[in-house]
Structure 1
């Protein structure tokens, strides 16, 4: 059930940010037909969250199109305006279980998905971008088809835990962050990291893996560049064509 949206400037701003993220994702070629989902917590406890409606193309999503749902209310997963089962399973459970996961972006971007399809999809630190995710990445390798059952959502939330990236084996990637810009920046850099790994592995030569110390120092160093996210997102949204 779509709950009544409060007149709240913070939620209005969140709607704009999330709708822009969908459209940027489409511009990058990371959307998939009318599937996949982005969500953002709209309440302090994370229980209420914004989510794209069932089967709406990313390129068309306006702020007003986003559903405001309650992860504690099972009726949110039924009715004519309900999200599809996989959206409720993954996003509803993460927001209910992990209130610190303010923004949850799930997509099947090409290189992240290719990495997730390897027998060992470990994000090995071999450069700045791969090391960005050192110690921040979790793995769920128990793929069982489309994630539309309650136990699937619980397992995914357990696997994610306190990490900010979940590599979903044979599936794709889920990124969580404090803001839409922060989460999208990680999605952007994770796709670049996955591309680097896939290309390096495809050479057949051994990888020059960074030491744990260097990888951790690099990951820590990225924290000082967090402001990049807002600037990058502002640029990307400025390039979006107007919605008709």
Structure 2
């Protein structure tokens, strides 16, 4: 049993821990987890470059606010934890966090639909409303093997650029956000886009591509639809869903 850290960390860090633990459990609930092998990281508010990441070996559906591991930019633990950190996992995340001040949360998945589309040369096709949101802010990064090579970081950062979505070829999906709520909603849209494309291509019928002009205007339209809140619009409802189906993340 993990001892609660609520009274041992700042209020801002505790709230981030709760939201990040919820994001892990939601990834499991929606079926995007890959046992223990992907990651969501978040930067802790404050001058130190400290981050929270999953305890390696714990299932996403088990993660709590107190079990998250605090690490530095090199992936070294800066607080006590019986769990290790996956070095391959934080190679990708540290590159993004270091390059993008706005990327306070980085979410990476190996979902079946995401990996399937990442293996297709054409990548994301303009086949759905969800796809227009992705295509408006999407980069691609070619596969270079399991992410252990520090030399890969500049290429990954360059491919992400200032986008919200990154397709890791033959590997999976990545989203960034100002907080776990934003990163999660972006991943929900990314995953839905891939699932729809898999199903559409399987239908073996002529497909109707969306006009590129519509894609060009979708960013502004999305702000109107979400009232500028983006992930924050759906987040309270998602937490209520977790409270009903898998409570305990805020411990």
TM > 0.5: yes
1:66 Cα deviation after fit:
0.9
Structure 2 unaligned segments of length 5 or more: list them: none
C-alpha distance in 1 between matches for 2:157 and 2:44: 19
**CA distance, structure 1, for counterparts of residue 237 and residue 165 of structure 2:** 20
CA contact (8 A) 2:141 2:159 kept: yes
Q: Give the SS at the match of 1:215.
A: helix
Instruction: Give the aligned CA root-mean-square deviation in angstroms.
Output: 2.5
Deviates more, 1:23-32 or 1:79-88: 79-88
Runs of 4+ in 1 over 6 A off after TM superposition: none
User: Which residue of structure 1 lines up, in the alignment, with residue 247 of structure 2?
Assistant: 242
Cα distance in 2 for partners of 1:29, 1:55 equals 18
Say which of 15, 18, 27 aligns to 1:16.
18
| Structure 1: tracts of 5 or more residues without a match | none
Distance in 2, matches of 1:216 and 1:124, equals 14
Does structure 2 conserve the Cα–Cα contact (< 8 Å) formed by 1:103 and 1:179? yes
Alignment partner of 1:178 is 2:178:
yes
TM-score computed with the length of structure 1 as normaliser: 0.87
Question: C-alpha distance in 2, partners of 1:217/1:46?
Answer: 38
- Kindly tell me the number of residue pairs found equivalent between the two proteins: 237
Report the CA distance between 1:236 and its aligned residue. 3.3
Distance in 1, matches of 2:219 and 2:204, equals 26
Deviations 1:83-138 (A, max 9, x none): 111122111222122221111010112211111111221x2222211111232011
Verify: 1:125 aligned to 2:130, yes or no: no
Q: Could you say if the C-alpha distance between residues 177 and 47 of structure 1 is closer, same or farther in structure 2, counting changes exceeding 3 Å?
A: same
Distance in 1 separating the partners of 2:157 and 2:64: 28
Q: Is the partner of 2:135 in helix, strand or coil?
A: coil
TM-score between both structures, scaled by the size of structure 2: 0.85
1:51 aligned onto 2:53: yes
